[in-house]
């Protein structure tokens, strides 16, 4: 059976095509202004890569903030269900999923049977999302990809006001003026976002294994700070950005059955 998962996120669209629970193609692009169009074109690309046509698909499941605009979708689920499904597929021992995307952070608690038991979402606050690292990178005048690596060079613990992204930005500026090394500031930034995410995840409880998904999982500085904050080692999913799309494709397969 062939299915596809389409994850229309705030910043990017991700697609996974599955054949008999095996990934046969993936695709990713910026969401842009016309998310529906991007999603359609990207789906076509992914299907071409997989060498199948839309008619071959047993189902298409969409997820993400823009899940309702995907006209091709036969099903639609939220990131909570998709994230849990994808994560447990990757590692059945996962009990906590931490999903940090461009605009939102989420924590999901799953049972042994793969059921979502509880979830928490970071409410309307940039301080717990990818947008935060991006604005901090701008304030530090470094590339966002470099920001994480930079912090690995620091063991300092510079407290930062993690409550508010606006305050945090002015704090970064103050720290720069005080000639604090950039690597220490970068560490402080990742500690702050990790603290924010940990706070939220503690609401639902942190149980091993903890899998981190979403684009921010690729940030090594964040992962280091997160490990310290939750006092255990998390697992970073391979291709963490695609886990929700993978979960959606799996759900499409289940529903087709």
Sequence-distant (6+) residues with CB within 8 A of 37 are none
Query: Residue from 39, 46, 65, 189 that binds other proteins (CB under 8 A)?
Result: 65
- If binding is defined by CB under 8 A, does position 160 make contact with other proteins? yes
Sheet holding 235-236, edge to edge: 116-121, 105-110, 96-100, 210-213, 235-236
HSE value, Cβ hemisphere, 13 Å, CA-based, for 135? 19
What are the angstrom distances between the C-alpha of 12 and each of 56, 115, 214, 215?
Answer: 25, 27, 11, 10
Longest dimension (CA), the chain: 62
Q: Which stretch binds other proteins (CB under 8 A): 9-17, 47-55, 92-100, 109-117?
A: 109-117
Nearer to other proteins, 202 or 208 (CB): 202
Helix (H, G, I), strand (E, B) or coil at 223: helix
Q: How far is the CB of 211 from other proteins (least distance, A)?
A: 18
Judged by beta carbon, residue 145 or residue 164, the one nearer other proteins is 164
Q: Which of 21, 37, 115, 208 binds other proteins (CB under 8 A)?
A: 115
Per CB under 8 A, contacts with other proteins among 186-225 are: 191-192, 195-196, 198-200, 202-203
Alpha carbons 49 and 26: distance in angstroms, whole number: 8
Interacting residue ranges for other proteins, rule: CB under 8 A: 65, 68, 77-81, 115-121, 123-124, 159-164, 167, 170-171, 173-175, 177-178, 191-192, 195-196, 198-200, 202-203, 229
């Amino acid at each position: 059976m062939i299915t596809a998962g389409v994850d229309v996120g705030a910043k990017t669209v991700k697609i996974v095509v599955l054949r008999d629970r095996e990934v046969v193609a993936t695709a990713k692009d910026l969401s842009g202004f016309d998310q529906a169009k991007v999603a359609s074109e990207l789906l076509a690309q992914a299907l071409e890569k997989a060498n199948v046509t839309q008619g071959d698909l047993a189902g298409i499941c969409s997820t993400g903030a823009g899940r309702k605009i995907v006209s091709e979708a036969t099903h639609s689920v939220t990131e909570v269900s998709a994230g849990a499904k994808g994560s447990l597929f990757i590692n059945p021992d996962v009990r906590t999923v931490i999903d940090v995307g461009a605009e939102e952070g989420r924590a999901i608690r799953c049972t042994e049977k793969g059921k979502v038991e509880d979830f928490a979402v970071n409410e309307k606050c940039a301080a717990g999302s990818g947008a935060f690292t991006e604005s901090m990178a701008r304030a530090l005048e470094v590339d966002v990809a470099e920001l994480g690596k930079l912090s690995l060079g620091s063991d300092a613990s510079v407290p930062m006001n993690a409550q508010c992204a606006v305050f945090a930005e002015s704090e970064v500026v103050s720290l720069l003026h005080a000639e604090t090394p950039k690597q220490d500031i970068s560490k402080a930034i990742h500690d702050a976002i990790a603290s924010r995410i940990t706070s939220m995840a503690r609401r639902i409880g942190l149980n091993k294994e903890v899998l981190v998904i979403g684009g921010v999982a690729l940030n090594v500085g964040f992962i280091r700070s997160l490990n310290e904050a939750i006092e255990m080692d998390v697992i970073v999913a391979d291709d963490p950005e695609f886990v929700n799309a993978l979960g959606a494709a799996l759900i499409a397969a289940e529903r087709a059955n």
